[in-house]
Amino acid sequence: MKTICLPDDQAKHLVGPTPDVDVVVWDGTGEPPAGIDQVEFLVGGYGGATMSPEALARMPRLSVIQLLSAGVESWLPAVPPGVVLCNGHGIHGGPTAELAIAGLLAVLRQLPRFVEQQRDRVWQATEVHSLDGMRVLVLGAGDIGQRVASVVRLLDAEATLVARHQRPGVEPIAALPELLAQHDVVVVALPLTAETEGLVDAAFLAAMRDGAVLVNIARGKIVHTTALVAELQAQRLQAFLDVTEPEPLPADHPLWTAPGVLITPHVGGGTPGWANRAYRLVREQLSRFVAGEPLRNVVSDGY
């Protein structure tokens, strides 16, 4: 019999009865429940909550941590040696890619301007752009990046995928200096790691084409905010940002009023239905764990 730890009663309901599994419920705060020292498989809570190293130390038999988010950076410092970390790859990919496309199209079609005109009851046509014929550079060839590339291709744009390692259909990050000048749109869909933090810096932005659009639906720290603000204020680049650095964005931050930027408050994932998708993955992982089969979504070097 295996013992697992779930973050709350809703998670227990969504997992449902699982053969050969005992369940304890604990989110890492307050007094731990009986049986916590027998836990081998832990499901982390959603929404950025992590467990402290002290809480994890209450589970000496722990061997697997399953997260419900694609990003893992907040958990990495706390994961005990020898414990396998799995992320939520596939849970939020569809909604996040959907928002990336929606935000990009809103910028290209100048929807914020038309919202202002509607508010002011002004009927004034202006030239807008289409994805048709554009070249889109997608940083990240995982679930989100692949989905973004598929959609832009359906809309008659050309998509180029970039990842750490070159493979058929995917260019390496090392090729970015050359690729940036060849594309009209750059979509950031990378995990936050030591390698990617600050990747989109002043030099990166300067290498982008005049009038290009930057889309960030990954993590705010991947983009150097001050450098981006400078490019926006010069009206050389445009941007759609679902994530920022800092986050939440302070009310007096210059990014709010920079021209050519559309901002949403980190709402890419977590749409209705996410929990069902998440715990479908959890059930599959538990089945694999109990059967001694290889787990999905095992994180290596932050990916």
Catalytic residues: 219, 247, 266
> C-alpha angle 200/204/206, rounded to 5°?
130
Distance, CA of 111 to CA of 185 (rounded, Å): 17
